[in-house]
């Protein structure tokens, strides 16, 4: 029995409600919006999730991004992975919704990255991108490869190259080299819509206010170019609280629910922002946040919604290439390495015995 396929099938049915967390989808007020960092119920609040814009913040390299074209202005989030390289979402730099990369040479079109961790005051560190790339398999938000039915949020990755080095105060994150696994606790950050689990979205995105929150990974979609089999490309988590545990109710996954002041969702403007794990004592990028979904009868952004993004393990080669080798991929620590050594030793012992 192919569990992944079943889940993927179920999600494709469910996924019609998915919306991009920002970029194009956020164009019209009242239109479809999704991911941002939200808080739990009172006494937790969006304000309690704000991360101060100071150089010693562990989130100092989480940036907001202003994308402008055709007289429109959008907000997304991103992660610094090299002095001049920012990882974000493909849909943030897609000007048509069909995978059309923004043309930086067109008058009025630009991509600007906003760094907040600066001692020289707000507004002093906005750096314009000189190059923007979109994953070659990204064909627009929700678009599947030719001949594949469904709603695909796969391959929604972008790499933005800055025209000058990021401020020294902005942390450069390494990328975790291992597969993202279900039940992993992830730490998310972004500049998007916020609100709380009861009321949903109540607070607009802001280029200078970032929030952080956590959740636990529930499910995955495989590669859309490969019949949704093989490598994991898309991760999902639900925003649990106040009696809602959506993926568990749907019989898909019943992962741990985090405490009210940590369990969070995402909203419009959080798109492209990071999901980190803690490894070797630091935050490492393992996934991005790109979409949200609202089941029938649930308030947008409130408990019971779900969301997710791109699991980077399948894209490590792409990221290293698109950053001209700047992105640093770190192998996973401890157990696997030790286990590998153990196996080697055993094999050696057996060989010796046979001899
Ligand atoms: Ca794919
Ligand atoms: Ca959850
Ligand atoms: Ca859950």
Which CATH number belongs to the domain containing residue 148 in this structure? 2.40.10.120
Residue 83 lies in a domain: yes
CA separation for the pair 199, 27 (Å, rounded): 22
Beta strands in 4-138 (DSSP E): 19-20, 50-51, 62-69, 72-80, 85-88, 110-114, 126-134
**Ligand number with the minimum distance to the CA of 250:** 3
pLDDT tens digits along 154-174: 999 999 999 999 998 899 999
Give the rounded percent of residues in the chain with a pLDDT score beyond 90.
Answer: 69
**Which pLDDT belongs to residue 48?**
80
Ligand 1 centroid from CA 223, angstroms: 4
Angle of CA points 173, 168, 156, to nearest 5°: 35
Ligand 1 centroid from CA 80, angstroms: 23
Structural tokens at position 95: 């000007």
Give me the domain span that covers residue 162.
3-340
**Ligand number with the minimum distance to the CA of 40:** 2
Ligand 2 centroid from CA 8, angstroms: 18
Ligand 3 centroid from CA 219, angstroms: 10
CA separation for the pair 147, 355 (Å, rounded): 56
Strands 282-288 and 185-190: unpaired
CA separation for the pair 355, 347 (Å, rounded): 12
Ligand 1 centroid from CA 235, angstroms: 13
pLDDT tens digits along 213-252: 999 999 999 999 998 888 999 999 999 999 999 999 999 9
Dihedral sign from CA coordinates of 322, 157, 163, 173 = negative
Residue 347 lies in a domain: no
**Ligand number with the minimum distance to the CA of 157:** 1
pLDDT band at residue 339 under the 50/70/90 scheme: low
**Ligand number with the minimum distance to the CA of 245:** 3
Ligand 3 centroid from CA 135, angstroms: 30
Ligand 1 centroid from CA 244, angstroms: 31
pLDDT tens digits along 177-220: 999 999 999 999 999 988 999 999 998 899 999 999 999 999 99
Ligand 1 centroid from CA 134, angstroms: 13
**Ligand number with the minimum distance to the CA of 224:** 1
Ligand 3 centroid from CA 244, angstroms: 8
Q: Which of 1-5, 9-13, 146-150, 312-316 has the lowest mean pLDDT?
A: 1-5
**Ligand number with the minimum distance to the CA of 226:** 1
**Which pLDDT belongs to residue 132?**
98
Residue 284 lies in a domain: yes
Residue 355 lies in a domain: no
Ligand 3 centroid from CA 216, angstroms: 8
Residue 349 lies in a domain: no
What's the pTM value of the predicted model, to 2 decimals?
0.85
Ligand 1 centroid from CA 154, angstroms: 5
Count of residues in the chain: 355
Residue 353 lies in a domain: no
Ligand 3 centroid from CA 338, angstroms: 32
**Ligand number with the minimum distance to the CA of 249:** 3
Question: What average pLDDT does range 13-25 have in this prediction?
Answer: 45
Ligand 1 centroid from CA 192, angstroms: 26
Q: Number of structural domains, the chain?
A: 1
Ligand 1 centroid from CA 231, angstroms: 9
CA separation for the pair 190, 210 (Å, rounded): 5
Protein residues within 5 Å, CB atom, of ion ligand 1: 137, 154-155, 223-225
Question: What average pLDDT does range 60-68 have in this prediction?
Answer: 95
Residue 345 lies in a domain: no
Ligand 2 centroid from CA 73, angstroms: 32
Ligand 3 centroid from CA 246, angstroms: 6
* pLDDT of 25 higher than 50: no
Residues 244/175, Cβ–Cβ less than 8 Å: no
Q: Which of 58-72, 82-96, 338-352 has the lowest mean pLDDT?
A: 338-352
Beta strands in the chain (DSSP E): 19-20, 50-51, 62-69, 72-80, 85-88, 110-114, 126-134, 158-162, 175-176, 185-190, 194-196, 200-203, 210-216, 219-223, 229-238, 274-279, 282-288, 291-293, 306-310, 329-330
Residues 190/63, Cβ–Cβ less than 8 Å: no
Q: How many C-beta neighbours within 10 Å does residue 31 have?
A: 11
Residues 67/23, Cβ–Cβ less than 8 Å: yes
């Amino acid at each position: 029995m192919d569990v992944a396929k079943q889940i993927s099938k179920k999600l494709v049915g469910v996924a019609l409600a998915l919306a991009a967390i920002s970029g194009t989808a956020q164009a019209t007020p009242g239109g479809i919006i999704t991911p941002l960092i939200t808080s739990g119920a009172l006494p937790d609040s969006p304000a309690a999730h704000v991360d101060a814009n100071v150089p010693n913040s562990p989130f100092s390299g989480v940036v907001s991004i202003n994308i402008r074209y055709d007289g429109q202005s959008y907000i997304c989030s991103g992660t610094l992975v090299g002095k001049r390289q920012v990882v974000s979402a493909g849909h943030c730099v897609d000007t048509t919704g069909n995978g059309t990369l923004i043309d930086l040479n067109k008058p009025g079109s630009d991509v600007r990255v906003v760094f907040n961790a600066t001692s020289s005051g707000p507004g002093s560190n906005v750096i314009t991108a000189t190059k923007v790339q979109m994953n070659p398999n990204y064909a627009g938000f929700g678009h599947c490869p030719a001949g594949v039915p469904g709603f695909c949020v796969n391959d929604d990755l972008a790499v933005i190259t800055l025209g000058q080095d990021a401020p020294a105060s902005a942390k450069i994150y390494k990328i975790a080299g291992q597969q993202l696994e279900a039940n992993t606790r992830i730490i998310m950050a972004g500049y998007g819509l916020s609100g709380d689990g009861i009321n949903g979205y109540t607070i607009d995105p802001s280029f200078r206010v970032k929030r952080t929150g956590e959740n636990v990974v529930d499910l995955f979609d495989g590669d859309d170019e490969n019949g949704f089999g093989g490598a994991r490309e898309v991760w999902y988590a639900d925003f649990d609280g106040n009696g809602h545990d959506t993926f568990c109710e749907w019989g898909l996954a019943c992962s741990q629910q985090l405490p009210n002041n940590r369990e969070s969702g995402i909203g419009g403007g959080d798109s492209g922002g990071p999901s980190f794990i803690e490894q070797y004592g630091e935050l490492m990028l393992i996934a991005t946040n790109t979409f949200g979904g609202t089941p029938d009868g649930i308030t947008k952004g409130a408990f019971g919604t779900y969301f997710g993004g791109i699991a980077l393990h399948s894209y490590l080669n792409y990221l290293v290439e698109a950053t001209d080798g700047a992105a640093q991929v770190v192998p996973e620590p401890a157990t696997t390495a030790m286990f590998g050594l153990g196996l080697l030793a055993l094999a050696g012992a057996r060989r010796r015995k046979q001899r």
